[in-house]
Amino acid sequence: MVSRLLRATERRAIVGLSGLYATRMLGLFMVLPVLALYAGELEGATPLLIGLALGGYGLTQAILQIPFGLLSDRLGRKPVIAFGMLLFLAGSLVAASAESIALVILGRCLQGSGAVAAAIMALLADQTREEVRTAAMASIGLSIGVAFAVAMVLGPWLAAAFGLGAIFWVTAALSLVGLVVLWGLVPRAPQRRHRDVGLDRAQLRSVLGRADLLRLDFSIFALHLLLMALFVAIPLRLLDAGLAVEHHGWVYLGIMGLAFVGMVPLVIIAEKRRRMKTMFLLAVAGLGLCSLGLGLAGEGRWGLLGWLLGFFVAFNLLEATLPSMLSKLAPAGAKGTAMGVYSTGQFLGAFLGGVLGGALVQWGGLEAVFYGAALIGLLWLGVIAGMAPPPHLSSEVVALGDEPQDALDSLMERLAEVAGVEDVLVVPEERVAYLKVDRQRLDSEALARVAGKREE
């Protein structure tokens, strides 16, 4: 149904920007399952520095993603995205030609400095109407999940066939393809502000003051910290279990496929049966338990693979449901600001996870990483145990048409009186109202009347 509602320019924007986002994330993630295996050949490599190379992109990404988003408001989306892609290209070239771990770290940090995620999301919002924007944003989320799964399989195959440098050369080529897509496929769009997508500095303090949102920020921080920390050790543990490097891609292919299948019914339970908090707690407990199991599995192949599968079922479940929870909890019109803080936590987690994982391997061995991850999972469980179940609310954006200013001034109160509308923010300069609604209780006809629409 949604695809039939899309205009040609919207379809081009969604396909182009989802592909651009996916190729960028593919380049960042392809080194994850292989760097610990191959970086030992680089000059000066130590486990700590290998971990820093894994997570280094997260530091520059966390520092620069909000400034890049704000810069795109001033200079335009496409020029800022293109500049970020050129930085990503430069980082890929530095890492591809590196003969020392220091240059790989520099290359990874340069890759992360092309922090254009917020600008890409803003451009997609500029290109789409309110009624299709949620589906458009979901396509970006889907592209990230696909890119991660492909990277886990493609990275080991490329490295086994052509060496570590090949991954960065392919990443550089993908950057060039991304630039062609940006300028050749993605249409031009008017530059507008969207509070549900971009960062609004006026809302930042209120978002940072919400304990429920901070729990989710900590959760995405911890999730990516665990991912990066464990992947300093997991490739080496697979090698110890007798799985040859050239077969790691097949291992990850099977695990990622089964983990996706295992995740789907859990997402349905969380969303459709409104068991979001229960699934959240179970997933975090599962991550901690699987981390412990990976440490205790030793060199036993099937135990190792079983615990790794369990880890990725829980990981995929959280990757799918945490943004949904954030959308439910964020105040009307503040989802973009809340997502900016959330994403910053994600990238900081990736950086610190790489550093922590490398430090634990260097000073305590592989088992120290898994036991440390289990402790982090226990801490995380304590942080979220007292949270209230998130309300099952959806975001709605209503276009306001050409109503005069005096009518807009009273519109918020009238919208708030509609059954099922839980929160309202009217933004006259955007000519839209941002709503949080309970769809099971929403009186759609009353909402259409108040918003000045006519039923077809």
In terms of domains, do 171 and 80 share one?
yes
Evaluate whether residue 164 is within a structural domain. yes
DSSP state of 389: P
How many structural domains compose the chain?
3
CA distances from 360 to 137, 238, 337 (A): 38, 18, 34
Of residues 304, 275, 7, 290, the one with CA closest to residue 132: 7
Question: What average pLDDT does this structure show over 262-271?
Answer: 91
In terms of domains, do 233 and 154 share one?
no
Evaluate whether residue 456 is within a structural domain. no
CA 421, 422, 428, 431 dihedral sign is negative
Structure confidence at residue 433 as a pLDDT band (50, 70, 90): confident
Of residues 192, 174, 247, 196, the one with CA closest to residue 25: 174
In terms of domains, do 433 and 331 share one?
no
The residue among 169, 198, 227 that closes a domain is 198
| 405 pLDDT higher than 70 | no
- The rounded radius of gyration (Å) of the Cα atoms in the chain is 23
The residue among 344, 376, 392 that closes a domain is 392
In terms of domains, do 356 and 213 share one?
yes
In terms of domains, do 329 and 439 share one?
no
Distance CA 192, CA 184 (A): 21
In terms of domains, do 364 and 443 share one?
no
Poorest-pLDDT segment among 229-243, 303-317, 367-381, 429-443: 429-443
**What is the reported pLDDT for 33?**
95
| 351 pLDDT higher than 60 | yes
Residues 6+ positions from 231 with CB-CB distance below 8 Å: 32, 33, 35, 36, 54, 357
Greater confidence, 450 or 87?
87
Which element (helix H / strand E) includes 227?
helix 211-230
Domain that holds residue 305: 203-392
The residue among 154, 182, 198 that closes a domain is 198
Evaluate whether residue 87 is within a structural domain. yes
Question: What average pLDDT does this structure show over 175-195?
Answer: 81
pTM: 0.90
Question: What average pLDDT does this structure show over 438-453?
Answer: 78
Evaluate whether residue 228 is within a structural domain. yes
Question: What average pLDDT does this structure show over 178-186?
Answer: 90
Evaluate whether residue 135 is within a structural domain. yes
Alpha carbon 389 to its chain centroid, in Å, reads: 22
Question: What average pLDDT does this structure show over 111-137?
Answer: 82
In terms of domains, do 182 and 217 share one?
no
User: How buried is 351 (Cβ within 10 angstroms: 0-12 exposed, 13-18 middle, 19+ buried)?
Assistant: buried
Q: What is the CATH number of the domain that holds 409?
A: 3.30.70.100
Evaluate whether residue 85 is within a structural domain. yes
State the average pLDDT for the chain. 88
Question: What average pLDDT does this structure show over 264-281?
Answer: 90
Distance CA 396, CA 426 (A): 12
Of residues 62, 145, 152, the one with CA closest to residue 319: 145
Q: What is the CATH number of the domain that holds 258?
A: 1.20.1250.20
| 407 pLDDT higher than 80 | no
Structure confidence at residue 359 as a pLDDT band (50, 70, 90): very high
In terms of domains, do 303 and 402 share one?
no
| 127 pLDDT higher than 90 | no
| 231 pLDDT higher than 70 | yes
Alpha carbon 35 to its chain centroid, in Å, reads: 21
In terms of domains, do 87 and 192 share one?
yes
In terms of domains, do 275 and 181 share one?
no
Pair of tokens at residue 132: 């299709």
Question: What average pLDDT does this structure show over 118-146?
Answer: 80
**What is the reported pLDDT for 409?**
64
- H-type helices in 116-210, by residue range? 117-127, 130-162, 164-184, 201-208
Question: What average pLDDT does this structure show over 2-30?
Answer: 82
Distance CA 84, CA 117 (A): 9
CA distances from 2 to 315, 334, 448 (A): 29, 25, 20
**Residue in the structure block whose two tokens are 């929870």:** 325
Q: Phi/psi zone of residue 394: left (φ > 0), alpha (ψ -120 to 50 degrees), beta?
A: beta
In terms of domains, do 411 and 366 share one?
no
Structure confidence at residue 120 as a pLDDT band (50, 70, 90): confident
Residue 353 near residue 56 (C-beta atoms within 8 A):
no
Question: What average pLDDT does this structure show over 23-50?
Answer: 92
In terms of domains, do 237 and 265 share one?
yes
Structure confidence at residue 95 as a pLDDT band (50, 70, 90): very high
**What is the reported pLDDT for 189?**
67
Distance CA 277, CA 283 (A): 10
Of residues 325, 77, 92, 83, the one with CA closest to residue 210: 325
Evaluate whether residue 355 is within a structural domain. yes
Residue 119 near residue 80 (C-beta atoms within 8 A):
yes
Evaluate whether residue 112 is within a structural domain. yes
